[in-house]
Amino acid sequence: MFLGSLDSVVDPEVAITIFLNSKSSRPSGYNIEIIKTFDGTLIIMKAGSKLKELKYAIRNDGKTAYLIENCGMQNEIIYYGVDMIPDKTGYFSILIVTA
């Protein structure tokens, strides 16, 4: 299910930070505080394991979030806004957070 385009989500004038939740380097995942410390656009790959906590931090910090679930697959879904994002996601989910 395709819900729209993300063309207008990322401002080309603002820095983009890509954060990969690497289980090999940090088994417990990444620090949720990353939401508070970035300026610009944050792209979090493999966000599923911490999605509920990330949503809470995004909401509390007044930021905007988008999630692409099953990115690049036939069953890709794009969620607009933190309230639309489910607590659990499918394979290959990418979370985009904007300040």
**Per-domain boundaries in the chain:** 16-98
- Please report the DSSP string for the chain in residue order: ------TTTS-TTS-EEEEE--TTT-TT---TTHHHH--SEEEEES-GGGHHHHHHHHHHTT-EEEEEESTTSTT-EEEESTTTS-SS--SS-EEEEE-
For range 42-53, the mean pLDDT: 81
pTM of the full structure: 0.72
* Stretch 85-93: mean pLDDT: 86
Looking at residue 2, its pLDDT comes to: 38
CATH architecture of 16-98: 2-Layer Sandwich (3.30)
